[in-house]
């Protein structure tokens, strides 16, 4: 049987590849992103029927619809592992309805309390299974090391996802002194035999540049393959294997709202997503294309509003744009990688147009889409940006009105949805638990401006102790165990390395030697 194959957004890959190869490759040959040749269709009854099954089986059903080239029983088994008691709620991503037309999809019940878990509890299992199948087919003869540069959240979610995965090890670099106490402890206490964490002297940019240089060093790659039988991979958010799990929860959420009697089958539901790299919101688009009755897709930005400006003007321009620090750091971006896939779809899959715009972005730091594509963008999306002060005010207001604490990323989405919504009910993607960002939640509750210092006695608290203080003040009882226990866990990784290519390569080599021993 011919499985669904993946082509690329720039039309530069020699031939389309199956799911397993797309997952292993990450990026397509020639720099484009993989997209499925066929987008499966679900009837309204198919969608409604999902609600009868546990989440893992909903996910397996969507993977089968995408016709992945892995046996059905393997998919079922991996999904049972991906979405089981590693989540603190058996519904996996439950929905809290703040009123009859405002529904919050909580994507943070996984082990690291951020939405990245939804994909990163799943992708690594499919990565290992894909590598295994390709090895058995004689198309692969080595193992992998995932190398991640992180500003905080992604690194922990990747560590937790890849820990003790078969045939894969993982090393994560974060800027030394540049992450919160909670983020540091989440990474430094990471369990697992195949994991390593380094602080890098410098900022996040230095980390990322360091990683890029290591990935680009062909002599180093040859040596790793020769001496350790290992190839480097990044498994970052442009990997198609991270996108399908995100499509799953939007299809599932629609089915659940219908099953709970909060939505009529076929009624339109608008969705608002706090957006950075455009992965999460892209999944709403694919869910809609599959037949889920989603209405407008609201793209929420913080003060880094390049996407809002693009959606409102048709021009993506970072030629004179500064990177702003905000209370929602996981949305602090300039180059939003997955937008490329979205434009590919909205142009009717015009790879040469995409290749041209991506060249413009690299060379001129800007591109402008044609009028037809811009009209499609406007038909599909609406966007607004929320400034830092408003973000914190929103946290306080929603707590006062609904006795519900939002993290700063979700607060941006909540406020953008208020600004953009029309008649339809709205689903708000909630992407982190508030306790991951306790310092800004404290500022919000106490009317302290973003960026202002906390009172000395509060600033002296560990992240865990600050969360306990907030819980006492608000009556919140839901601090996830993975965050509450951090002060009690032993620190396993304290090594700090210089950010030079050679320094990072030496650290990677030491790690692989330790694994080989
Ligand atoms: C990664 C992240 C986002 C942004 O998601 P994208 O898929 O990159 O658009 C938003 N909120 C949180 C908490 C995140 O970790």
- Please report which confidence band the pLDDT of residue 333 belongs to, taking 50, 70 and 90 as the band edges: confident
Ligand 1 cavity residues, CB under 6 Å: 114-116, 153, 237, 274-280, 330-331, 409, 431-432
Q: Which ligand 1 atom sits closest to the C-alpha of 409?
A: 11
For residue 10, the CA-to-ligand 1 centroid distance in Å is: 25
- Please report which confidence band the pLDDT of residue 153 belongs to, taking 50, 70 and 90 as the band edges: confident
For residue 272, the CA-to-ligand 1 centroid distance in Å is: 13
Contact 88, 79 (CB under 8 A): no
Residue bearing the CA closest to ligand 1, atom 4: 276
- Please report which confidence band the pLDDT of residue 85 belongs to, taking 50, 70 and 90 as the band edges: very high
Q: Are strands 426-430 and 381-385 parallel, antiparallel or unpaired?
A: unpaired
Cα 390 to its chain centre, rounded Å, is 24
Give the mean pLDDT of 41-53.
98
Choose which residue among 276, 301, 335 to substitute to test ligand 1 binding: the one with the highest number of ligand atoms within 8 A of its C-beta.
276
- Structural domains in the chain plus CATH codes: 95-114+241-429 (3.40.50.1100), 434-488 (no CATH)
Q: Which ligand 1 atom sits closest to the C-alpha of 407?
A: 13
For residue 182, the CA-to-ligand 1 centroid distance in Å is: 18
Give the mean pLDDT of 488-501.
95
Residues 6+ apart with CB under 8 A from 20: 68, 69, 70, 129, 130, 133, 134
Q: Which ligand 1 atom sits closest to the C-alpha of 436?
A: 13
Q: Which ligand 1 atom sits closest to the C-alpha of 275?
A: 9
Cα dihedral sign, 64-70-74-75: negative
Mean pLDDT of the chain: 96
Buried b / exposed e over 480-503, threshold 16 CB at 10 Å, is: bebbeebeeeeeebeeebebebeb
Percent of the chain topping pLDDT 90 = 90
* Annotated active-site residue in 116, 125, 156, 185: 116
pLDDT(180) > 90: no
pTM over 0.85? The answer is yes
Q: What is the pLDDT of residue 1?
A: 54
Give the mean pLDDT of 372-386.
98
Q: Element (H or E) spanning 136, and its range? A: helix 123-136
Known active-site residue 125:
no
Give the mean pLDDT of 376-388.
98
Q: Which ligand 1 atom sits closest to the C-alpha of 276?
A: 9
Q: What is the pLDDT of residue 150?
A: 87
For residue 75, the CA-to-ligand 1 centroid distance in Å is: 26
For residue 372, the CA-to-ligand 1 centroid distance in Å is: 29
Q: Element (H or E) spanning 420, and its range? A: helix 408-420
Contact 244, 75 (CB under 8 A): no
Residue bearing the CA closest to ligand 1, atom 14: 330
Q: What is the pLDDT of residue 86?
A: 97
For residue 515, the CA-to-ligand 1 centroid distance in Å is: 32
Give the separation between CA 397 and CA 401, rounded to whole angstroms: 6
Contact 9, 354 (CB under 8 A): yes
pLDDT(290) > 70: yes
Cβ neighbours, 10 Å, residue 151:
19
Choose which residue among 280, 338, 341 to substitute to test ligand 1 binding: the one with the highest number of ligand atoms within 8 A of its C-beta.
280
Choose which residue among 341, 409, 440 to substitute to test ligand 1 binding: the one with the highest number of ligand atoms within 8 A of its C-beta.
409
Give the separation between CA 20 and CA 129, rounded to whole angstroms: 8
pLDDT(84) > 80: yes
Per DSSP, 139 falls in state S
Residue bearing the CA closest to ligand 1, atom 11: 431
């Amino acid at each position: 049987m011919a499985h669904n194959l993946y082509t690329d957004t720039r039309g530069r890959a020699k031939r389309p590849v199956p799911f397993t190869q797309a997952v292993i490759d990450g990026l397509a040959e020639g720099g484009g992103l993989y997209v499925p040749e066929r987008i499966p269709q679900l009837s309204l009854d198919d969608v409604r029927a999902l609600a009868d099954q546990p989440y893992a089986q909903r996910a397996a059903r969507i993977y089968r619809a995408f016709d992945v080239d892995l046996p059905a029983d393997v998919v079922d088994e991996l999904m049972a592992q991906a979405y089981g008691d590693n989540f603190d709620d058996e519904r996996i991503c439950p929905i809290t309805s703040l009123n009859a037309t405002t529904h919050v999809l909580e994507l943070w019940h996984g082990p690291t309390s951020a939405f990245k878990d939804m994909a990163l509890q799943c992708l690594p299992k499919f990565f290992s299974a894909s590598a295994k199948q390709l090895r058995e087919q004689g198309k692969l003869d080595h193992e992998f090391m995932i190398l991640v540069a992180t500003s905080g959240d992604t690194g922990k979610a990747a560590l937790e996802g890849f820990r003790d995965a078969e045939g894969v090890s993982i090393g994560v670099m974060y800027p030394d002194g540049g992450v919160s106490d909670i983020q540091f402890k989440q990474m430094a206490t990471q369990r697992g035999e195949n994991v390593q964490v380094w602080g890098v002297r410098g900022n996040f940019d230095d980390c990322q540049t360091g990683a890029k240089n290591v990935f680009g060093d062909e002599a180093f790659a040859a040596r790793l393959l020769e001496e350790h039988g290992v190839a480097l991979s990044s498994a970052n958010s442009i990997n198609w294997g991270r996108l399908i799990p995100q499509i799953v929860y939007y299809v599932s959420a629609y089915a659940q709202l219908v099953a709970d009697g909060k939505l009529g089958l076929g009624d339109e539901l608008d969705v608002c997503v706090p957006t950075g790299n455009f992965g999460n919101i892209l999944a709403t688009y694919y869910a809609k294309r599959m037949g889920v009755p989603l209405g407008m897709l609201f793209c929420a930005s913080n003060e880094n509003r390049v996407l809002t400006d693009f959606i409102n003007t048709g021009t993506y321009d970072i030629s004179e744009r500064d990177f702003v620090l905000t209370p929602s750091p996981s949305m602090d971006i300039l180059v939003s990688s997955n937008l490329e896939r979205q434009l590919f779809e909205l142009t009717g899959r015009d790879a040469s147009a995409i290749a041209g715009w991506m060249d413009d972005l690299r060379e001129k730091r800007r591109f402008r889409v044609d009028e037809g594509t811009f009209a499609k963008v406007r038909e599909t999306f609406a966007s607004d940006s929320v400034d830092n002060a408003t973000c914190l005010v929103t946290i306080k207001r929603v707590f006062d009105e609904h006795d519900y604490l939002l993290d700063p990323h979700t607060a941006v989405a909540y406020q953008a949805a208020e600004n953009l919504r029309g008649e339809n009910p709205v689903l708000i993607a909630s992407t982190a638990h508030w306790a991951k960002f306790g310092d800004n939640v404290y500022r919000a509750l106490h009317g302290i401006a973003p960026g202002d210092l906390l009172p000395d006695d509060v600033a002296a608290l560990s992240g865990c102790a600050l969360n306990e203080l907030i819980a006492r003040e608000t009556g919140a009882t839901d601090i996830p165990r993975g965050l509450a226990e951090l002060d009690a866990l032993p620190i396993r990784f304290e090594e700090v390395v210089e950010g030079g290519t050679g320094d990072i390569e030496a650290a990677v080599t030491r790690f692989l030697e330790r694994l080989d021993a």
